[in-house]
Structure 1
């Protein structure tokens, strides 16, 4: 416990700590996913979610952010169930050494969760933004109150991101030191291409937004120092460590229901004496959880740029990402295709694959993925189904 709460005294020490905990080297072995869905009343999707009825629906699986007395049981295949601030449900599947095991576990837990909610009159949404209701916070926790307080003066995107969006997150191992920079560059440069290919949030509050991915538009506009894409550089660990320390501290935790939100104080400022007590490694660990870039180093690469998908079609982008990073040769081919468009985040969010440069890169990427998929051990039928889904992507409408 002492080492977990060690006082930090210098920027050099803090940067070294960030690099060590966020970029953990090792052979790529595990893949995980976190799937979010917006929840609606089946009889009226415009109706706000009532916390008491939602708590009753989730029963012993309810997170303690919703019900402090809940035993918070995992779902049958072991996935923890969590909630986002607006009441979006999230399955955080435990990482698995094979995609087949991962898909089986998530399919089991998703089926169980869907039935649990259906029995209480709720349904899972099929889009990555709330198409019917304005953003409203369901969970009243110190963390989410602080986030809303910080994001609100910046604009409307923060509350939208918190309460009216749902994402599909893929967790991939960092890899060995010799391949780290290339894997980081590939997963980052893929971002605009895959945002465009899997955009699934054209509407918000019952109206068309003019964006293929209104969710990604909200994320990028939430709080740029903490939500903008990271740079593609040769030493991503050092660059990330500098960024983390230069980002304003969202909140300083305390014992009460409302935490301090220091105005403009970066973590580096805190180290330099902006507060009476110097920060600890525990404070820095928490600060890391308040960073929301499209790819977040978290001991592994947490890919956060994908919209939630319809039904079970989440399988396709997860398998595609795993295939595209499966061999050094495929990673190199991804870089050739995607680096020229690796900064087109806003065009991807606005136009999807109607952007010609992104469409051209996507055609190459989808072909690369289709050729690499048979090596993932998913079985013939599932592999063929995913390849067929990839073939349909360029023609898929977001209307």
Structure 2
């Protein structure tokens, strides 16, 4: 019980997250995925030229770190930037562009490009190189041993994720419910993975479909979040019963064979009998849970495909605009309050195929997106002569509006005088036309690419 109390305290600490995004590396000449040997050379090159610290596992380089940011590798060699928690979206986007510049500078000298899609468009699982990380071997063995066809979700997907903070348990509950309910809407707007095996897959986001097939015990829309009893303790109870994959002891990953963290707390983990967990064990366990919104010391919005740099900047703008302003957040809560569990789940199931054309409550999801996008945009806009503006993001001012105290932020402008709502412009085009990035790729595939997927490596190369 002491550990459980500690876990709840860890969960309730107010922190800020950044943006995380993944991308595929490929050879310009062959369009094939890059091998680990090339990945290692790429990481070493970035470390040497741009002064990053190497992260090693044994003799293998598996990532880089600098300050609060890191570059890591997903199971299929997907290149991931985990960004710094910044005060403004301009800083977040600047960091993203700096990272892409560094990766491209070193990669192009090696004949390597980076692809901004949500799913590997051409190659099959057996063509994807494996990253030499023991934890990934254990994860793949777990899925294989449980008869779960998850290899494609591990090796062939790329997502973009936004990490958001909360000020209290009550604030977490509001954001968690809104984030979960509207995650399918984000998946629709950012749908960018229509191809598999070199042909159209039948989905606008096959990444979203594949992720939805992963172990149901650790994924999904988390219906209990909408119960009146929901809070930190209920989320901890859920996570305690999700089967464990591994534990890290003495610089080694140990396969846990699907035992629960609750067993671990009781000292009943067969792999290390009599041992009880540390907070580090808990944090590692949470990384093996993949719901649409993941709760840690911050919330991870996990529903969007990887995409172009402007869409990567649009995603944090969307969620920050929607969730960090009390007016927009309550507009969203008022809209979703009567959505049934069946409606939420059906929306999640349909969106990978039909995107913004998904029918919902007598209209198209596109029309729901118009309302939600407008709320996000208004909350990000700068003050004018008759308005005061308070932005509740990374600044600890979530309670200010409730006490009628307002502040004016002067750092919402970039060097050109543009406010943060400009980051939503790509979504304005998507929602206005109803055409997702995937729809546009499919149009090019059928009408200008001669039914070949190869041009997508040029079209979506950073």
Give yes or no for TM over 0.5.
Answer: yes
- What residue in structure 2 maps to residue 370 of structure 1? 377
Shift of 1:314: 0.9
Q: Counterpart of 1:43 in 2: which secondary structure?
A: coil
Higher Cα radius of gyration: 2
Mean Cα deviation higher: 337-346 or 94-103: 337-346
TM-score by length of 1: 0.87
Bigger RCO of structures 1 and 2 (CA < 8 A, at least 6 apart)? 1
Shift of 1:106: 1.9
1:205 aligns with 2:242: no
Q: Pairwise mapping of residues 35-74 of structure 1 onto structure 2 (< 5 A)?
A: 35-45=21-31, 47-61=32-46, 64=55, 68=59, 74=65
Shift of 1:72: 5.8
Shift of 1:31: 4.7
Q: 1:144 aligns with which of 131, 136, 141?
A: 136
**Alignment deviations for residues 265-290 of structure 1 (CA, whole Å, 9 cap, x no partner):** 22223334533224212332321221
Q: Counterpart of 1:152 in 2: which secondary structure?
A: helix
- What residue in structure 2 maps to residue 82 of structure 1? 72
Shift of 1:137: 4.6
Structure 2: runs of 5+ lacking an equivalent: 48-53, 383-390, 392-411, 443-462
Q: Distance in 1 between the 2:250 and 2:149 partners?
A: 29
- What residue in structure 2 maps to residue 187 of structure 1? 179
Q: Counterpart of 1:86 in 2: which secondary structure?
A: coil
> Does the CA contact (< 8 Å) of 1:55 and 1:67 recur in 2?
no
Q: 1:279 aligns with which of 276, 280, 285?
A: 276
> Does the CA contact (< 8 Å) of 1:157 and 1:219 recur in 2?
no
**Alignment deviations for residues 353-398 of structure 1 (CA, whole Å, 9 cap, x no partner):** 1102233321211121222221461445464643432221132241
Shift of 1:309: 1.3
Q: Distance in 1 between the 2:261 and 2:210 partners?
A: 25
Q: Pairwise mapping of residues 72-111 of structure 1 onto structure 2 (< 5 A)?
A: 74=65, 79-111=69-101
Q: Counterpart of 2:381 in 1: which secondary structure?
A: helix
**Alignment deviations for residues 290-315 of structure 1 (CA, whole Å, 9 cap, x no partner):** 11212111201111111111233211
Q: Distance in 2 between the 1:78 and 1:14 partners?
A: 27
Shift of 1:132: 1.5
Q: Counterpart of 2:69 in 1: which secondary structure?
A: coil
Shift of 1:323: 0.4
> Does the CA contact (< 8 Å) of 2:24 and 2:33 recur in 1?
no
Q: Distance in 1 between the 2:304 and 2:110 partners?
A: 29
Q: Counterpart of 1:320 in 2: which secondary structure?
A: helix
Shift of 1:42: 1.1
Q: Aligned in 2, Cα 1:204/1:67: closer, same or farther, shift over 3 Å?
A: farther
Q: Distance in 1 between the 2:57 and 2:155 partners?
A: 14
Q: Distance in 2 between the 1:335 and 1:305 partners?
A: 19
Structure 1: runs of 5+ lacking an equivalent: 1-11
- What residue in structure 1 maps to residue 402 of structure 2? none
- What residue in structure 1 maps to residue 426 of structure 2? 389
Shift of 1:160: 1.2
Q: Distance in 1 between the 2:264 and 2:424 partners?
A: 50
Shift of 1:71: 10
Q: Distance in 2 between the 1:78 and 1:127 partners?
A: 26
- What residue in structure 2 maps to residue 33 of structure 1? 19
Q: Distance in 2 between the 1:362 and 1:114 partners?
A: 34
Q: Aligned in 2, Cα 1:215/1:158: closer, same or farther, shift over 3 Å?
A: same
